[in-house]
Amino acid sequence: MTRTRRPTARRVLFAAVPLAVLLALAGASVALGARSVEGTVVLTALRSLLTGHGAEAIAASVDQAAVIDRVPRVLTGILVGSALAVSGLAMQGATRNPLGDPGLLGLGAGASLAMALGIGLGLTGSVLVVMGLAIAGTLGAAVLVYAAASAATRMSSGAGGAPGPLSLVLAGAAVSAGAGAVTSALIIAIPQVQDRFRFWSIGTLARSSMADVGALAGVIVLGIAAVLLSAPGMDAIALGDDMAHGLGTRPERLRAVLLGATVLMTAAATALAGPVSFVGLMVPHMLRRLRPPSTRLLVIATALWGAALVLAADLIGRLVIAPQEIHIGVTTILLGVPLMLVLLRRKSMTL
């Protein structure tokens, strides 16, 4: 009896704890800030928002208006955090590279460049146009980084095969730097780009809007679902491609699904919040230390903890130096770089 119950309890806890933390943080994020609000007011405001009386509530009191104003920000944080964390997990699984992170490998920078280019060329349409640009940029950066890193690994080891983790990060840094320089040039040269991109050197939730959330939530949910469905296959490719074939999975197709989901989620997250690094690196590595009961639960927990991490980063950033704020891009790098240094000291890190 106890034998079977204990793993089940562990399974439940593995998902329930982050869910509880996330809900608590979401509540705190709506209530706290430059103008902190009591719990009862939060509840009335949210209830009126859900029943479609948001406008009346805003008119009713400043406190309720503050709460309603923070809702898109919290939703954006949840979407961005879960998208980036699951992207990191999918990249680490697909490339068997412990340093997989969409920011670190230059994908976010590619998305930003494509969006700046599109806006510079006058393509300021709906969110969907921006999203299309972001996907194109992410994909372009991914292909470039992967090709350069494979070439570097082939040169150093003489053999073909998957690119090593260090090559990927170095190629990602080069692509980030180049894309970043061209993006900066566009921001300076073209006023329309400047208007939209002024705050894009760091990832931030300060520009969140309900319209963007509505348009991009579907993309992110779809990406997470794709990774969730591929979870059993990720275990198989972790054992090597030959073993995966033997176990009846098709590693190439699985990789394509995982990387496709990564591109979608990274593009959406970058369109929502700008470049945010290290969330995808931190969350999966921390969770693996807790020995996840199954890969599917690892995906769920990664999404929840990723969302919680970004919300916590945003909340702390808003409270520490209020009324100014520390943007999430700063906090995540501050937390991520020490972890990165620890990971680099492992023996398995090769070019």
Partner 1 sequence: MSAGECSTAAAADQPTAREQVAALRSRGRRRLRLVVAGLAVLVLALMAVRVLLGAYTVTIPDFFRILGGEQIPGATYIVMQSKLPRAVGAALAGAAFGASGSLFRRTLRNPLASPDLIGISAGASAGAVVAMTVLGWRGPGMAIGALIGGLGVAGIVLAFARSGGARGSGGATTAMGSEKVIVAGIALSSLAMVIVSQIVLSLEKGDLQSVSVWTSGSLSTANWTRITWLAIALVILLPLGLAIHQALAPADLGADFAHGLGARPERTGFLALVVGALLASAATAAFGPLAFVALLSTPLARGLTGGRPSLPVAALVGAAIVVAADFLGTEAIPGVRLPTGILTGAAGAPLMLWLLIRSKSKV
The torsion defined by the Cα of 180, 183, 189 and 190, in degrees rounded to 10, comes to -160
Q: Does 34 bind partner 1 (CB under 8 A)?
A: no
- 204 close to 141: Cβ distance less than 8 angstroms: no
The torsion defined by the Cα of 12, 15, 21 and 22, in degrees rounded to 10, comes to -140
**From 17-25, 152-160, 256-264, 282-290, span contacting partner 1 (CB under 8 A):** 152-160
Give the three-state DSSP class for 239. coil
State the minimum distance, in angstroms, from the CB of residue 183 to partner 1.
Answer: 9
Q: Does 277 bind partner 1 (CB under 8 A)?
A: yes
The binder of partner 1 chosen from 10, 49, 127, 178 (CB under 8 A): 178
Q: What residues contact 299, with CB distance under 8 A and at least 6 apart?
A: 86, 89, 224, 227, 228, 231
Q: Which is nearer to partner 1, 63 or 325 (CB)?
A: 325
The binder of partner 1 chosen from 173, 217, 247, 286 (CB under 8 A): 173
Q: Does 345 bind partner 1 (CB under 8 A)?
A: yes
The torsion defined by the Cα of 106, 112, 113 and 117, in degrees rounded to 10, comes to 160
The binder of partner 1 chosen from 74, 89, 175, 219 (CB under 8 A): 175
Q: Does 208 bind partner 1 (CB under 8 A)?
A: no
Q: Does 159 bind partner 1 (CB under 8 A)?
A: no
Sign of CA dihedral 28, 30, 34, 39: negative
The binder of partner 1 chosen from 41, 174, 217, 247 (CB under 8 A): 174
d(CA 208, CA 29): 14
d(CA 276, CA 203): 5
Q: Does 324 bind partner 1 (CB under 8 A)?
A: yes
Q: Which is nearer to partner 1, 130 or 166 (CB)?
A: 166
- 314 close to 208: Cβ distance less than 8 angstroms: no
**From 10-18, 42-50, 304-312, 318-326, span contacting partner 1 (CB under 8 A):** 318-326
DSSP assignment letter at 1: -
DSSP assignment letter at 348: T
The binder of partner 1 chosen from 28, 41, 228, 351 (CB under 8 A): 351
Q: Does 201 bind partner 1 (CB under 8 A)?
A: yes
Q: Which residues bind partner 1 (CB under 8 A)?
A: 99, 144, 148-149, 151-152, 155-156, 166-167, 169-171, 173-175, 177-182, 184-185, 188-189, 199, 201-202, 277, 321, 324, 326-327, 329-330, 333-334, 336-337, 340-341, 344-345, 349, 351
